[in-house]
Amino acid sequence: MSFLLGLGVGVVLGAYSFFGRARAREKETKESFEEIEAALQRILGGKDLSPGLGLGLPFRGRKIANLIRNMHQSLRGLQEETKEENARVLAVLEGMVDGIVYIDQEGSLLLANREAIRLLELPAKRWMRQNFEELFRNEASKSLLRRCLEDRRRQDLEIEHYNSILEMSAVPLEEGGVNRGAILVLRDVTSLRKLQMGRRAFVANVSHEFRTPLTAILGYCDTLLHDPDIPKEDRIQALERIFAQANRLEELVKDLLQLAQIEAGPRSGSQRKMFSPLELMTSVYEAFSPQALEKEIHLSLEKGRAPARVLSDQEALRQILENLVSNAIRYTADGGRIYLRCFAQGEDLLFEVEDTGIGIDREHLNRIFERFYRTDPARTRFRGGTGLGLAIVKHLSQRLGGHVQVRSEVGKGSTFALKIPGAVLREG
């Protein structure tokens, strides 16, 4: 009997001990899961793990905690790499001269670089995840994106957007056969198109300027060839006109070559040097005095205020003055006056060529420095010249770091003023 009692007590005590240890392990397991769950929540929240993670857990719990810690470190490393990669991609996009826009399959903007924001005039910080239908103001650009997203084919278009000309390309984006939206590339081609238009206009002007003397030469040559009985006086007159038109062609070619050389940039060795501006003006005065004398024009050189020495490109200044004086003689009537001046304004060097010629209408003053521009082609072509002289003056003055201005009144004359900053050398 006592044996059975002792056995029962032992069974009860053993069962109590077993269930006690089971409850303890259950508590430890619950605490382990709670700590692991808290650690995973911190990872999901982008927070660092507690330094003491797993220290109070049993062996298996510590092992799981170490795995979580290693996983967290790997994820942080991947996050840093992704962050650096994104920063590099964004830096490249921001540095591009083209505008780049990423639009998802629903038409929402997810990415736009600085140039795209400028070209499309997107609202600052309010364009993200907005639909392009609401953001874009140009209907043609909206239609371009609609076609790209619907047809899944590249679309190209050139549009006028306010005062700019934009070249746009929309390219569908796919990944594994899945529609991922489209990439829109924008480029401002305003300057390029203006350059192309200018080139076409230049070619047309050159062709026209060549055609006139060539037509005259061919006409006179045809007359001389097919009319052997032409009187001697008429033959001589025809030859003189052929010679005059050939000279005009030569001047035109020479000015075109000179303008091309100026636009190509300064030649090596043709840099600034010290010289006397009065000596330069005197040489120009002497070169044009015979032409002025033929028209009984009083060409005057004012010497009193010229600085002693200057530092600039002497040959470029000579070309500028020669073109200005030549124009002044051409557009000043017989018996008129032309004045050449040079003076210092602080450290700036100024040249003036003033005439009592026909003058220029105010409406033409902003365009007279364009190539082949004539205020009145019917009146000015017979006076000679190539129409390139003032364009040469403008480009040379810009190459010297200066600028040229004109004051004029119809019927009273014109004054062309050239200013070269910092060219005057201080004495002593």
> Per the structure block, which two tokens stand in for 75?
């994820």
Residue 46: what residue type?
G
Q: b/e string for 134-158 if b means 16 or more Cβ within 10 A? A: ebbebeebbebbeebbeeeeebebe
| 109-119 per-position pLDDT tens digit | 888 888 888 88
Residue 264: what residue type?
A
CB 297, CB 359: distance < 8 Å: no
| 340-387 per-position pLDDT tens digit | 999 888 888 999 999 999 888 888 888 888 877 776 554 455 455 677
Q: Using CB atoms within 10 A of its CB, is residue 373 exposed (0-12), middle (13-18) or buried (19+)? A: middle
CA separation for the pair 264, 258 (Å, rounded): 10
Q: Give me the pLDDT at residue 285, please.
A: 92
CA separation for the pair 307, 108 (Å, rounded): 67
Q: Give me the pLDDT at residue 259, please.
A: 77
Q: Give me the pLDDT at residue 15, please.
A: 47
Q: Give me the pLDDT at residue 337, please.
A: 93
Domains delineated in the chain: 2-90 (no CATH), 96-188 (3.30.450.20), 191-264 (1.10.287.130), 273-428 (3.30.565.10)
E strand intervals along 22-122: 99-103, 109-112
Q: How many C-beta neighbours within 10 Å does residue 330 have?
A: 17
Query: pLDDT below 70 — which residues of the chain?
Result: 1-69, 72, 79, 86, 89, 265-270, 375-385, 427-428
Q: How many C-beta neighbours within 10 Å does residue 327 have?
A: 21
CA distance to 68, 69, 111, 263, 321, per residue, from 75 (Å)? 10, 10, 25, 59, 74
> Per the structure block, which two tokens stand in for 73?
């470190």
Q: Give me the pLDDT at residue 178, please.
A: 82
CA separation for the pair 331, 329 (Å, rounded): 6
Among 358, 349, 360, smallest CA distance to 404 is for 349
> Per the structure block, which two tokens stand in for 335?
């018996």
